[in-house]
Every structure is written in structure tokens, then in C-alpha cells.
A and B are shown apart, each in its own frame.
Chain A
Amino acid sequence: MNIAINASNLSKHFGNIVAVDNINFSVHRGECFGLLGPNGAGKSSTIRMITCSSPLTSGQLIVHGLNVNNEQRSIKSHIGIVPQNDNLDPDLPVKQNLEVYARYYGLNKQLIRRRVEEQLEIFELSDRANSPIHSLSGGMRRRLLIARALLHNPSILILDEPTVGLDPQARHIVWQQLRQLTKNGVTQVLTTHYMDEAEQLCDRIIVINHGKILAKAKPQELIQQYVGNNVLEIQNFSNGIELLKRSLDFTIEYEIFGDKTNIYASDDNLLTISAKIKISNKSNLRKANLEDVFLRLTGRRLVE
């Protein structure tokens, strides 16, 4: 059983809103799988179906070999969930938050004590064991949420926007800990609207928008397939593009966003073009990234 999650023709409607529109994907065991898309794309709706929090409108969803429609308790005992919104228990201090949560999984007292100590240690929260929740920083709360999701040793960890709202340093700490989990063989599914996060963490991603999958591959493959190695970014160039096109003996693809024009072509061709651009048009030849993929796929920026 090397498939951790399999979704076929999965849809979720809220009244007239189609949040998830007939998508297919599967997550392999041991990989970190990313759902990448802008706000409102349908990432959380997909996640909430996987975690048995939200019934499917149609399609089939198998998690850990079990059907989400009728094996919810069993599925929930095999997965750990880090929700998009902080829902730590405000009535209990740090350590007790974990102890009480571990009890919901039916773990015995000794095991609970051991697991809680371990998780506090790993997530560097031991010295805050008795602090009230409201006294923790955003990064600490996020780490506590991840620690909480791992108490029962789940084989699949599901994270909805794990670093949203964190400062860069706190983000890097979370990333580090997630990479460590990948090393330990924990399957991860995460959603994000940060390109760099998907590139940093995910083995494979699906790009979704308006509930549909636009592309599905390894991050580097996606970049190669939709953009190439490099991108030439030119400031205030929208009027010059026609002239440029006529002066070239090869075709180019480009996209204009406000005052910025992105040109996509092979590396040699990009060099040729860059030689033709006037210095007054500030231009910048840079490595292609997932953001470019998203722009190519949708014609709009991911993070507005």
C-alpha cells in the first residue's frame, strides 16, 4: 500500500459555490505533497474532506486505504491535522493542551506523558510547558499545533497553510521541522499560497485555482515545463514588445503585469533579447520559479 491518499472525481459544493471541481490526485507514502493555489482556490475545502470534517459532494476519497464516507474514526486515528486557524485550547496551559489532546486518541497515561515530553522537546517548547496559550508567540503556537498533531504518531500529517502569518525566522524553523519529518518517513500533505514554501518542502505539487487542478508534477518539472530555466523581467516595456517581436527571428512568449513584462524563452534566446533591450528599460534575467508557473497557468499573480 504505497498510496496514502487517493482522490477521484472529488467535488465539494457550498450551495452554488463550487469550491472543489472534480479533481483527481494521489499522494504517495513518505512524500511531501503540496496543494498550491491562491486564497479561495479550494485548498482548505479539499483538506477538510481528507480530514473527514466535511462530507464530499461527489467523488471518492480514500485515506490510508479507508473510505472517508464510512471509516472516519479509523482514518482520524491515523492522520494528524494542523488546521489553518489556531484552535489550541485557551483554557489549558501548553503541556496540558497536549496531554488532554493525546487522551482523545485513547493513549494510556504513561504513553501520553512520554509523548508529550518528547514533542515539547522536539519543538523546543519544554521551557514553556506551563505557560498559558495566550502568552505564546505566533511561531510557538504554530509549533505547538504541529506537536499536537503528532502526539499519536500519525502516518500522515496534514497541514493547512502551516506558516501563514509567521515572520521569516519562525517560518524557517517550521520548515526545518517539517523536513525532519519527511526524513523520518512521515507522509505530509500541505497547502500553501507561498511559492517558496512549495519549492522548499514539496516533492510533488498540484497547482489549483477555482477548484480545478491546473498542473501536477515535481516543482522543478513544472518550472521546466511551463517556464524554462530563466525569465527576463523588464520594467515599463509594454509598448516595446511589438517592436521587439518583429526584430527577432524566433518567436517568444510573454506576459504583462502592470508595469512589468516577463519574457519566456530558451536561455540562448533570452540572452539575445537582453542584448537588444535599452539600458533605460531596467531588465533582469533571473531563475524561473513556481510563481512564474502560476502566472503562465492563470495569467495572474498568486499572492495579490
Chain B
Amino acid sequence: MNLILSRPNISISSLYVWQRHRDVFFKIWKTESLGIGLEPWIVILAMGFGLGQFVTLDSGEKYVQFLAPGLMAMFPMFAAIFECGWGAFMRISMHGTYEAILNTPASIEDITTGDILWGTTRATLNATYILIVLLILNHWTDAVNSPYAIGIVFVAILQGFLFSSIAIAFAALARAMSHFGYLFNIIVMPMFWLSGGFFPINELPEWAQNIAWFLPLIHSVELNRALLNGNLTLNMIGDFFWLAIVAIAFYAIALVLMRRRLIV
């Protein structure tokens, strides 16, 4: 009870934690930038044009047009979950990085928040980069059809925060690296397939569609789709609030679980 009711103790230190992650990223960036940089090109070309040749959609869109909003939801989700899932688990359980930071004025909430903000940053960079690639290829893809597309950056921030919080809550519970199999197979992959990012889900049985509605990813895909096409609807308000509610809930859960994990 104590754990839940105590006031979260957040300070400027969460920024210092974020800066630590940024510094590490700049270090590995030099060696990994080629892979990170090429990935969206390959995916868009392979899936959009390769796979796209075999797909015809009822709506008459090109497959790459259908796929684009999903890519800008799914890849940022993976980035956030990777940073705050595996990454945080190693920092908690294997390298003692959290223990070391806790010896400074930083609190557990600062560390958790700094990690989540960094996961959010990665997700946002990721979505922004895919948007840029799509813009460069837009002559062939026709995926970006409205200046509202810039709003995708904000969707990425919101869902980045959400998925980072989920991942860090999970990292606080995990006792072994292999437990991440559960996160991936039970939470991430079903969300991935049911997000309506790869194929339209309105052909699925109704119960599956109902479940899908509660999974946050589908709402990021819907928001991205509306922003890319420029046809804003009232549904977007529902999408936005559901993402925000789930994000806040999981942030709170992450704080509680991290306190439980780190206070002995």
C-alpha cells in the first residue's frame, strides 16, 4: 500500500539519466548507424514494392500506402520495447547500473522516468526517420498526402512513452533474460498482428476485432493513417485518449514495480 500511495519522487535527475542513455547511444551510433539507417529503406522497398505486387486492396490503395502508417507505429514500438525491456533488464540485473545511479541523489522514480523518456526519444527518432524516408520515396509511394503528417511525431512520443512504460514494468518483473520471450510472444506479437498495420482487420471475426480495439498499437496505426491521408475524424479523439490513458496507467505501474524491485 505504501508503495502505491507514496508521492512519486521525480527531479531533474531523470534528465541526467536520459543524458546517460543519449551518451551511450552516440557511442554505439558510430558502429550501428548503417544498420539502423538502412532498415526502413529495406522494409519499405521489400514489403511495399516486393510484397505489394501481390496484394490488391479493396480500397484501391497501393499496399505501400496501406503499410506506411503501420510501419511508423510498429518500428517505434520495437525501439521503445528494446530500450526499456532488454536494456533496462541488463542495467538492473546484470550490470548494477541502476544500483550505481541510486547511490547518487537520483531516486528510483528518476531512473524509471529517465529510461522511459529515453525509450520515448528512440521511438520518436525512429518514426521521424521513417517519415523522412517515406517523403524521399513519396514520388513512388504516394504515402504522405497531407501536411498533417508531421503530427506523426507526436503520436510517436505518446506511444513511445506508453510502450517504454510497459517494457520497463516488465523488466522490473523479469527474473531472467528468457522471460522476455513472454513479453514478445504474448504481448508484442499479437499486438503487432492485430494492429491493422499489415492487413485490414475488418475481415477478422468480431471478437478478434473487439480485443484488438483494446490493444494500444491499433490506435497509433489509426492516428498515423488519418494524419498521412489528411482526413481527420472524431475517432481520433478516442484513439488519442485511449493511448493517453493506457500510457499513464502503465507509467504508474512501472513506478510501483520498479520501487518494489529495487527496494530491499
Contacts and interface: CB of A to CB of B under 8 A. Distances in A.
Contacts of A73: 11, 105, 107
A77 B263 CA distance: 19
Contacts of A101: 100, 104
Contacts of A76: 103-105
A82 to B, nearest CB: 9
A272 interface: no
Contacts of A104: 13, 16-17, 101, 104-106
A124 interface: no
Given A55-B263, A89-B100, A106-B105, A100 B23 contact: yes
A105 interface: yes
Given A81-B103, A100-B19, A89 B264 contact: no
B101 A83 contact: no
A104 B19 CA distance: 10
Contacts of A91: 24, 27-28, 95, 97
A74 B20 CA distance: 22
Contact of A103 (B16, B24, B95, B100): B16
Contacts of B103: 51, 53, 76, 81, 83
Contacts of A89: 20, 95, 97, 100
Contacts of A81: 103
Given A54-B263, A104-B16, A106-B12, A83 B100 contact: yes
Contacts of B150: none
B100 A96 contact: no
A92 B95 contact: no
Interface residues of B, number: 25
How many residues of A sit at the interface, in one of the four size bands? Answer: 20 to 34
Contact of B95 (A83, A90, A105): A90
A104 B27 CA distance: 19
A292 to B, nearest CB: 35
A151 to B, nearest CB: 10
B54 to A, nearest CB: 43
Contacts, number: 68
Contacts of A90: 95
B7 to A, nearest CB: 12
Interface in A38-68: 51, 53-55
Interface string B3-27: 0000000011100110110011001
B102 interface: yes
B96 interface: yes
B99 interface: yes
Given A76-B103, A104-B105, A106-B12, A86 B23 contact: no
B11, B95, B100 interface centre (most CB from chain A within 10 Å): B100
A258 to B, nearest CB: 37
A2 interface: no
Contacts of B96: 83, 85-87
A87 B105 contact: no
A92 B22 CA distance: 11
A87 B16 CA distance: 18
B99 A92 contact: no
Contacts of B100: 83, 87-89, 101
A294 to B, nearest CB: 28
Nearest to B11: A73
A92 B24 contact: yes
Given A14-B264, A89-B20, 9 more contacts: A74-B105, A85-B96, A89-B100, A91-B28, A100-B19, A101-B100, A104-B105, A106-B16, A106-B105
28 contacts: A14-B264, A54-B264, A73-B105, A76-B104, A76-B105, A77-B104, A83-B96, A83-B100, A83-B103, A86-B96, A87-B99, A87-B100, A89-B95, A90-B95, A91-B28, A91-B95, A91-B97, A92-B23, A92-B24, A96-B27, A100-B19, A103-B16, A103-B19, A103-B20, A104-B105, A105-B104, A106-B13, A106-B16
